[in-house]
């Protein structure tokens, strides 16, 4: 079982560049999430989705975009990379239901220089 797979694992970007962080899950989970975690800090919710075609903003959506065209995939797009977006990005998914845990991917470590 692959679970939640994130690619790439590491990336260095220059200011102003754009990129897409990929997230895919093979558990048929409806709910998917994107978080960022700055060094020594907690997880901040960027965007989430409750199903294909439905996305919503979290706490820190500025500078990011998402789409959810399939149940499996939930890519995160950075359009104009800024140094403040240097962070570790985690994707997570879970089944429908309030008693369902989130399953996290291994994270993408992104540095913007």
* Residue 74 near residue 54 (C-beta atoms within 8 A): no
Q: Is 34 in the site for other proteins (CB under 8 A)?
A: no
Number of C-alpha atoms within 13 angstroms, CB side, residue 48? 14
The owner of tokens 């590491």 is 10
Please provide residue 40's backbone torsions phi and psi, each rounded to the nearest 5 degrees: 70, 10
Q: Is 28 in the site for other proteins (CB under 8 A)?
A: no
Q: Is 75 in the site for other proteins (CB under 8 A)?
A: no
For other proteins, which stretch binds (CB under 8 A), given 9-17, 18-26, 60-68, 92-100?
92-100
Binding residues (CB under 8 A) for other proteins: these are 31, 33, 35, 41-45, 48, 50, 56, 58-59, 90, 98-107
């Amino acid at each position: 079982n692959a679970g939640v797979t994130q690619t790439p694992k590491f990336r260095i970007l220059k200011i102003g560049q754009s990129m897409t962080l990929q997230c895919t899950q093979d558990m048929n989970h409806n709910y998917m999430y994107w978080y960022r975690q700055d060094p020594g800090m907690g997880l901040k919710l960027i965007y989430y989705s409750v199903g294909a075609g439905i996305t919503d903003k979290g706490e820190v959506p500025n500078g990011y975009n998402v789409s959810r065209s399939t149940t499996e995939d939930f890519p995160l797009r950075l359009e104009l990379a800024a140094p403040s977006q240097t962070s570790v990005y985690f994707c997570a998914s879970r089944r429908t239901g309030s008693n369902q845990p989130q399953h996290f991917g291994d994270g993408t470590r992104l540095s913007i220089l």
